[in-house]
Homo-oligomer: A and B are copies of this chain.
Amino acid sequence: MGNGFMGSILRVDLSSGSLDVLDVDEEVARKYLGGKGYSVYLLWQYLKEYEKEGLSARDVDPLGEENVLIFGTGPATGVAGFPEAGRYHVMALRSPLTGSIASANSGGKWGPYLKFAGFDMIVIEGASSEPVYLEIIDGVAELRKASDLWGRSVFDTTAILERRYEEKVSVACIGPAGENLVNYAAIMNDYHRAAGRTGVGAVMGSKMLKAIVVGGSFRPEIAKPDEFKEATKSALDKIKQNPVTGEGLPKYGTAVLVNVINESGALPYKNWQGAYHEKANDISGETMAEKYLDRNHACWGCSIACGRATSVKKGPWQVLNSEGPEYESIWSLGNDTGVIDLEAIIKANHLCDELGLDTISMGSAIACAMELYERGKLTLEDTQGIEYNFGNPVALVDGVWKTAYRIGVGKYLALGSKRMAEIFGLDVSMSVKGLEMPAYDPRGIKGIGLNYATANRGGCHVTGYTVSPEIIGLPEKIDPLTYEGKAQWVKVFQDFTSTVNSTVNCLFTTFALGADDYASLLSAVTGWDMGAEDILTIGERIYNLERLIINKFGFNGKDDTLPRRLFEDPVPEGPTKGQVVSKEDFEKMKEEYYRLRGWVNGVPTEEKLKELGIV
């Protein structure tokens, strides 16, 4: 197409086994770009179609064949020279974990390789009655039997398929957790990269789709090579000179944040009973670099290389040839469970990759189980002989693999913290809309709390990462403890991020690049003249349409809130000692946010939808 897109969407009906190809609709692409935006547009069409057929959105079973799973790249993905465009976005109509929309994003090389195979997106409908995998090589797609792969780990499956295609492909697959329909199973690509959140791996498992193999020699073409050269040079310079993308991330990976957030009094500890721990440095990126780092590891075409190749050379948690853990994983598997033991964390993280589990929800579910255990709800009989006290690395490591196979205590953990806590009758799930919140405590960072509450997919930081201004000071430093003005930041970050996830590009670029940089880059790639305002408007359109979808599932203002603990239990110690999220201030912030969004009680108004050109 000469606009960064390959121009083709592969549609696969797993129920019938039929495949067909749709053209990318340029009108849609101009309004929603690719990746997340185009996927949201398609999901909305499915929902309308279902309603016409008499299937209400609320009756869509996340693990039924009516769920739709979409893999999407955008105009930037796989474009040589585009800074850090090695990612893809995955969405499904409905998440088994939350009942809201499912959405996840991953790096590695799979996204670019999908485009090299000739397609921008893959839409998966229906469900197979036997294990299959999808092969897409040089424009030709086929479904193949995967009975020999079913039951295999992520690493086995990837290695077997890579060899079968002589290493010329990239493999995205599910592990045992996805096959066993664990509510927060991930889709894994290139061994260690995860489209982790909201259980997209379980959706894939419910369809009996084990893997998608992509590769080929197609390359995306761009519209304006000269402008592109100029825009990328400027962007790369900014990325290089930026303290986060130029130094912090390359040097210590995302785990550089452990000490930063802990010292801000916002690193949740022991299922959010605290927000600070004096020994957090034991599990920091700095400590990891000193003791367990083998080398850095970059996604396709990335200049930052925040990935970590790591190993634990000996001891009970030995793992060689591992990757990560990322900041979020260190926090969830370590700080949140009280396991201040980087070796056990690396092991647990490795098992999450091997078995295909979202580390944030996994660690959070274990932390929740530990609180249930310490409060006498979960018993030693439930855990079958393992103490679920906070800080027990055995519970952590055993809990991970038992979750993937849903045995023992894993049968509770696999449900996610919300349903598990309901079963045991104690309100200690630290989740929003059922999605476990990540590693920033709103009691110490007020803006991120509003983002968690209003994020369409549930408790999520990358929907609108206000931590950047509130803590890191990018693009400017604001006070994390105030409520004023945060609504505007949340809205802008959510909109901008929606565009980035539709580009599809790495969110970390936004530490260094603003909407104007994205406008220059995307205008050069697509040939469509876009300004900074267009970039934000596209994101706002995507965000509003996504909100319309979740409204259909019954989510509205009542669900745009935070767990009780954050309002009621003050941080017990550390820099934010005594802080809660003030219910009154939170509600004010939320009202301000709704006003800025043009929403009433979490629902977009007709006026706003018209303004954005959403049908």
A411 neighbours in B (Cβ, 8 Å):
152, 156
Copy tally for this chain in the complex stands at 2
- A311 & B385 in contact (Cβ 8 Å cutoff): yes
Known contacts A151-B407, A401-B401, A405-B405; is A386 also within 8 Å of B156 by CB? Answer: no
- B384 & A321 in contact (Cβ 8 Å cutoff): yes
Smallest distance from the beta carbon of A254 to chain B beta carbons, Å?
21
Smallest distance from the beta carbon of A224 to chain B beta carbons, Å?
45
Smallest distance from the beta carbon of A179 to chain B beta carbons, Å?
10
**CB-nearest residue of chain B to A404:** B405
Smallest distance from the beta carbon of A15 to chain B beta carbons, Å?
21
Cβ 8 A contact of A322, one of B151, B385, B401: B385
Known contacts A311-B385, A384-B155, A385-B311; is A318 also within 8 Å of B394 by CB? Answer: yes
Known contacts A156-B411, A180-B151, A411-B156; is A320 also within 8 Å of B386 by CB? Answer: yes
Q: Which residues in chain A, 144-183, are within 8 Å of chain B measured between CB atoms?
A: 151-153, 155-156, 159, 176, 180
**CB-nearest residue of chain B to A347:** B394
Majority secondary structure, A binding face: loop
Q: Does A387 contact B (CB under 8 A)?
A: yes
A436 neighbours in B (Cβ, 8 Å):
none
A411 to B159, CA, bound (A): 14
Q: Does A406 contact B (CB under 8 A)?
A: yes
Q: Does A317 contact B (CB under 8 A)?
A: yes
Known contacts A156-B411, A354-B408, A408-B153; is A385 also within 8 Å of B321 by CB? Answer: yes
Q: Which residues in chain A, 352-379, are within 8 Å of chain B measured between CB atoms?
A: 354
- B176 & A405 in contact (Cβ 8 Å cutoff): yes
Known contacts A156-B411, A405-B151, A408-B155; is A350 also within 8 Å of B385 by CB? Answer: yes
Smallest distance from the beta carbon of A303 to chain B beta carbons, Å?
28
A408 neighbours in B (Cβ, 8 Å):
153, 155-156, 354
Smallest distance from the beta carbon of A181 to chain B beta carbons, Å?
10
Q: Which residues in chain A, 118-163, are within 8 Å of chain B measured between CB atoms?
A: 151-153, 155-156, 159
A151 to B404, CA, bound (A): 11
Known contacts A316-B316, A394-B316; is A321 also within 8 Å of B380 by CB? Answer: yes
A152 to B384, CA, bound (A): 13
- B316 & A407 in contact (Cβ 8 Å cutoff): no
CB 8 Å contact bits of A226-244 with B (1 = contact, 0 = none): 0000000000000000000
Q: Which residues in chain A, 309-325, are within 8 Å of chain B measured between CB atoms?
A: 311, 315-322
Smallest distance from the beta carbon of A126 to chain B beta carbons, Å?
23
A392 neighbours in B (Cβ, 8 Å):
318
- A386 & B319 in contact (Cβ 8 Å cutoff): yes
CB 8 Å contact bits of A317-347 with B (1 = contact, 0 = none): 1111110000000000000000000000000
- A407 & B318 in contact (Cβ 8 Å cutoff): no
Q: Does A393 contact B (CB under 8 A)?
A: yes
**CB-nearest residue of chain B to A411:** B156
**CB-nearest residue of chain B to A159:** B381
A401 neighbours in B (Cβ, 8 Å):
401
- B319 & A407 in contact (Cβ 8 Å cutoff): no
Cβ 8 A contact of A316, one of B180, B380, B387, B393: B393
A533 to B225, CA, bound (A): 98
A316 neighbours in B (Cβ, 8 Å):
316-317, 393-394
A156 to B350, CA, bound (A): 26
A311 to B394, CA, bound (A): 14
Smallest distance from the beta carbon of A64 to chain B beta carbons, Å?
18
**CB-nearest residue of chain B to A157:** B407
Q: List 20 A-B contacts (CB under 8 A).
A: A151-B407, A152-B407, A152-B411, A153-B384, A156-B407, A156-B408, A156-B411, A176-B405, A311-B385, A316-B394, A319-B386, A320-B380, A320-B385, A320-B386, A320-B387, A321-B385, A322-B385, A350-B385, A354-B407, A405-B405
The 5 closest A-B pairs by CB, nearest first: A316-B316, A320-B385, A153-B407, A321-B385, A318-B394
Query: Measuring CB to CB, which residues of chain A are less than 8 angstroms from any residue of chain B?
Result: 151-153, 155-156, 159, 176, 180, 311, 315-322, 350, 354, 380-381, 384-387, 392-394, 401, 405-408, 411
